Amino acid sequence: MLERLKKIKTRYEQLTAELAAPDAMDDKALWRAKVKEHSNLEEIVTVYDAYVSDTEQLEECRAMLREHLDADMKELVAQEMSELEDSIAKRDEELHVLLLPKDPNDDRNVILEIRAGTGGDEASLFGADLLRMYLRYAERHGYKVEYITENMTELGGVKEVVLSLSGRHGCYSRMKFESGVHRVQRVPETESQGRVHTSAATVAVMPEADDVEIDVKEGDLRIDTYRSSGAGGQHVNKTSSAIRITHIPTGVVVACQNERSQLQNKEQAMRLLKSRLLELQTNAQHEQLASIKKSLVGSGDRSERIRTYNFPQSRVTDHRIGMTLYKLEQFLDGDMDEMIDALIVAERAAQLSGEQE
């Protein structure tokens, strides 16, 4: 591990020098790639430097103990050695985690889909609660939100909503744990006898594809136009601006009707299509690793029940890691980091366990 860390530090210093050169930005694409690599290595190098510093100080303390010291000084040196040994062990653990293979999609932006599941109107209203939760979470983290598709009920519930989330360092690393079935237990407003009902909504989180990655041939597409429906004033139902695209080889279908023009709707639908095709491609490539991830943080399959929101007890439970928080109101207001941090830790633990096997 130490040899690998030395090579990483050498590469980091090389990148630092190259990025400081006067001609560093002559090739913008190369410059962006170097900045990204430099940023990815920075945390590892920082922890490694601290590890080396602690190790050197520990050796100095050991050398001091070999000298003729009085009892008080020996006690101070021994105490410092104990603290340094604890720090070195902690840094060693951090470095093992930081050196784990990184999900190549972690730095990507996200396509987020929310769909009402079983439960009728109550499921749609719960979908609206999830939509607000993710919007508030995005606001807390400074993510930019863009609607791709929005299909709401008359009561303000969600039939289907598709969003794009983008952030400075990507959103997928934190949002990817949200894929699956979200279940709610509460008394609906229409329930006269106060009985608790269970309903569900489905969330799918996909990394957004770059144009250069997914080559979609025009001949593989069937593009249909139709009139928009829902809220939208005079424009709705006046022109056939809504777009439905079918990718014939895979059978993937996407639609968009949010924008005013057919061209804009086609562009948004193509973004969604490429992300779904990337998801299919990624799933095929990573089937061998799925068992490691599924053991603690789930497969990401949208048919898998991942979380329950229980209103009578004000609790939210993540079934993948067995974690329960008794702060449902705050959680639905976007205060999700405690749960997501625990899921990240669980994923890393699963990776470490897989490597050790």
pLDDT 10s digits, 163-206: 989 987 778 989 999 999 999 999 887 676 778 899 999 998 98
Considering only residues 316 and 221, tell me which one the structure prediction assigns the higher pLDDT. 316
- 3-state helix, strand and coil shares in percent for the chain, rounded to the nearest 5: 50, 20, 30
Which 8-state DSSP code applies to residue 108?
Answer: S
Runs of H (alpha helix) within the chain: 2-20, 28-65, 71-98, 120-141, 172-175, 262-285, 290-297, 328-332, 337-356
Name the CA dihedral angle for 297, 302, 308, 309, rounded to a multiple of 10 degrees: 120
Are 148 and 162 in contact by the 8 Å Cβ rule? The answer is: yes
Residues of the chain with CATH 3.30.70.1660: 110-208+293-356
d(C-alpha 124, C-alpha 73), whole Å = 70
**Around 291, how many Cα atoms within 13 Å sit in the side-chain half-sphere?**
4
CA 254, 211, 101, 94 dihedral sign is negative
Quick one: what percent of the chain has pLDDT higher than 70?
86
Which carries the bigger pLDDT value, residue 220 or residue 312?
312
Return the CATH number of the domain spanning residue range 218-284. 3.30.160.20
Q: Is the pLDDT of residue 150 over 90?
A: no
Identify the pLDDT of residue 301. 53
Sheet holding 221-226, edge to edge: 221-226, 242-247, 252-256
CA dihedral 332→338→344→347, nearest 10 degrees, is -90
Q: CA-CA distance, 122 to 11, in Å (whole number)?
A: 55
Q: How far apart are alpha carbons 66 and 4 in whole angstroms?
A: 32
Q: pLDDT-derived band of residue 297, with 50, 70 and 90 as boundaries?
A: low
Which band of pLDDT confidence, cut at 50, 70 and 90, is reported for residue 267?
confident
- 62 and 74 in contact (C-beta within 8 Å)? no
What pTM, to 2 d.p., does this model score? Answer: 0.65
Burial of 347 (0-12, 13-18, 19+ CB in 10 A): buried
Topology adopted by domain 2-98: Methane Monooxygenase Hydroxylase; Chain G, domain 1 (1.20.58)
Q: Which residue ranges does the chain devote to CATH 3.30.160.20?
A: 218-284
- First vs last Cα of the chain: how many Å apart? 17
Look over the chain and give the mean of its residue pLDDT values, rounded to a whole number: 83
Q: Which residues contact 240 (CB under 8 A, 6 or more apart)?
A: 225, 226, 227, 262
Burial 118-147 (b: 16+ CB within 10 A, else e): ebebbbbbbbbbbbebbeebbeebebeeee
pLDDT for 283 = 65
- Neighbour count for residue 159 (Cβ, 10 Å): 16
Fold for the domain defined by 110-208+293-356:
Alpha-Beta Plaits (3.30.70)
DSSP label at residue 62: H
Start-end of CATH 1.20.58 domains in the chain: 2-98
CB atoms within 10 A of CB 292: 18
**Residues in CB range of 176: below 8 A, 6 or more apart:** 103, 105, 106, 110, 205, 207, 300
At 307 the three-state DSSP class reads strand
